Structure 1
Amino acid sequence: MEDKEIVLFSRARLAKSFFKRLRGLMGIRGLSEGECLVITPCSSIHTFFMKFDIDVAFVDKDLRVLKIVEDLRPGKLVMPVKGAYSVIEADSRFSSMKDLEVGSKLAIINK
């Protein structure tokens, strides 16, 4: 896998508390272009009561991509991913996750 630097998202929402992790993206109409939700700790998700399709990346504690799910429709369930520590969710309409591969190493840069 070739090393390359790409900006996937310019803004991230963080869901660490029990309530924020439980709520996730339920009840909102979508995320803006360049925006994602990071749910941690998390190894499985559902899209019940959501209003839009999402792209999802499951990552380990080192931010290495373990699994990618594209265009996940509302009302679906993704079973636990072994080794996953966090999940990154983005609106499928704007997602840059199509540039990811399993095994990619992500970095978070605060600006």
Structure 2
Amino acid sequence: MNSRRLVCSATKDLLVPVVLLPESFIERARGLLGVYSNDHPPMLFRDCSMIHMFGMRVPLDVIFLDRCDQVVEVIHGLRPWRVGWCWHGVHTLEMPAGFARRLGIIKGRRFDIC
């Protein structure tokens, strides 16, 4: 599994030093299953506009991005056994619940993922 950094495009501020990028089918299928606390790095799923929380134990903040890595939707605290999707989303960023608010992630914000 590769990792990247999440940087604000406008200010060039480093928001998250480690974002995991699952590549294989197994890595993508497993995702954050087995995570029992909100002490984990965010995970970015490329080419994914729908996620499920089946089998998850902790809520997550879910951020949907377009092709240019601009935020098109934010779901705060999506609870286990729920589904989240966005018709305009192309990529999905999952992070610990409350993290998106602390970072000031809002609709329209653009990121560099490098």
Which TM bucket (shorter chain)?
0.7 to 0.9
- Aligned with residue 74 of structure 1, among 77, 80, 85: 80
1:73-93, CA deviations, whole angstroms, 9 ceiling, x for partnerless residues? 1110113x1232211111115
Equivalence for 1:50:
56
Query: How many positions carry a matched residue from both structures?
Result: 103
1:105 aligns with 2:110: yes
1:34-49 equivalence runs, <5 A? 35-49=41-55
Displacement after TM superposition at 1:19 (Å):
2.0
Give 1:87's match in structure 2, choosing from 80, 88, 92.
Answer: 92
Match of 1:28 in 2: 35
| TM-score of the two chains, using structure 2 as the length reference | 0.79
More strand by share: 2
Percent identity between the aligned chains? Answer: 25
User: Where does the alignment leave 5 or more consecutive residues of structure 1 unmatched?
Assistant: none
Change (3 A) 1:37 1:8: same
* C-alpha distance after superposition, 1:18-38 (max 9, x if no partner): 2222211111223536x2101
User: 1:21–1:40: 8 Å Cα contact kept in structure 2?
Assistant: no
Please say if residues 53 and 71 of structure 1, whose CA atoms lie closer than 8 Å, have aligned partners that are also in contact.
Answer: yes
TM-fit CA distance, 1:7: 3.1
Please, which runs of 5 or more residues in structure 2 have no aligned partner?
A: 1-9
Q: 1:55-109 CA distances to partner (integer Å, 9 max, x unpaired)?
A: 1100011101010000111110113x1232211111115x1x1101111111123
2: CA distance, partners of 1:59 / 1:11:
18
> What RMSD in Å do the two structures reach over aligned CA positions?
1.8
Query: What's the secondary structure of 2:76's corresponding residue?
Result: strand
